[in-house]
Amino acid sequence: MNNINPASPSIGSFRKSPFSVHTIESLTTVGQLYKTVEHTQPDFEIVWILDGQGYHKVNECEYQLAQSKAYCVLPGQRHQLVIMPGTKGFIISFTEDFFVNGDGEDDSTRQSCLTQLFLQTPELTISDTTAEDMRDVLSLMLREITKYSFLRPDIINKYLKIFMAYFRNELEKVVQMTPRKTSCFLVNQFFTVLESSFKDHRTVSHYAKTLFITPNYLNHLIKSSTGFSARYHIQQRILLAAKAAIRDRSSMKEIAFYLGFEDIAHFSKFFKNVSGLNFRDFKKQLEDDYFSVPMLAS
């Protein structure tokens, strides 16, 4: 099944969907350089180069694009991508909401772990065996885009999760062999502690105390690595868990209690301040976004 044509016209971008997949060829003009302006990255993104050259800049670090390599970008990081003519590959992007549209699995936990892996491994080489499996999954996904089944969004979502399972396995192989730097270790420890404590603790000072550093230094480390403050990540982790609970049809009262809010009004205010919508409107929007049928990119 590894006869996928990366230049296939069936490449899709999913409108009102938390993820998208493109071939690099579909984004470029033959014989011309592809270049994005430097921007703040809105989503998780994987740039996977099958063949060709270029470079991309993440915060203050520049990486030369090379064959059989993948590059990771996190929401909030400063990003610029330059691709030379004739380059082949894929760009896969997804929002944090991708982890909410699950099927009973604790996908919000996976999101937190993936953030750590992306931070630790901004670039990696994909093994030939795994690359073949990953391309097979993308082939199935792109084929599904051309169909008009009511189940299409669900099926494509599952395929992307399989792809991410392969990719995460490659990330974990690299992390195990990479020496830990002190600053990187502290950033990873923050996310580890956050994962186990976000339901009970919502202040930066708590996490700083746990790591034996000052709140200001913790904020400096986290913002330097991710583009966002420690407070932002604490709030977003709570919001992500709330979204997952909404997906499971829990009531606002149940979610507030689950996340450690004694006062439902306090949770309601927190939810609106962080998400930008009140609980009822967000619940309706989440359902509308998930059940809408994705459209093909023009």
User: What percent of the chain clears pLDDT 90, i.e. is strictly above it?
Assistant: 32
Instruction: Give tens-digit pLDDT for 74-114.
Output: 888 889 999 999 999 999 998 877 766 555 444 555 666 77
Least confident of 12-21, 134-143, 171-180: 12-21
CATH 1.10.10.60 boundaries in the chain: 182-289
For the entire predicted model, the pTM comes to 0.64
CATH of the domain spanning 19-177, picked from 2.60.120.280, 2.40.37.10, 1.20.120.850, 1.10.10.60:
2.60.120.280
Identify which has the larger pLDDT, 148 or 40: 40
What SS3 class is residue 212? Answer: coil
- State whether CATH 3.30.365.10 applies to domain 182-289: no
Which pair of structure tokens corresponds to residue 212?
């034996």
Give the model's pLDDT for residue 10: 33
Give the model's pLDDT for residue 204: 94
* Distance (Å, whole) CA 237 – CA 239: 5
CATH 2.60.120.280 boundaries in the chain: 19-177
Identify the band that residue 287 occupies on the pLDDT scale cut at 50, 70 and 90: low
Give the torsion sign (CA, 123, 30, 15, 155).
Answer: negative
Identify the band that residue 7 occupies on the pLDDT scale cut at 50, 70 and 90: very low
Instruction: Give tens-digit pLDDT for 220-251.
Output: 888 888 888 999 999 989 998 898 888 788 89
Identify the band that residue 163 occupies on the pLDDT scale cut at 50, 70 and 90: very high
Give the torsion sign (CA, 96, 183, 117, 195).
Answer: negative
pLDDT at 155 over 60: yes
Give the model's pLDDT for residue 30: 73
* Distance (Å, whole) CA 290 – CA 147: 17
Give the model's pLDDT for residue 109: 54
181, exposed or middle or buried, with CB in 10 Å at 0-12, 13-18, 19+?
exposed
Give the model's pLDDT for residue 240: 86
Identify the band that residue 282 occupies on the pLDDT scale cut at 50, 70 and 90: confident
Average pLDDT over residues 10-22: 57
pLDDT at 2 over 70: no
What's the residue count for the chain? 298
What SS3 class is residue 158? Answer: helix
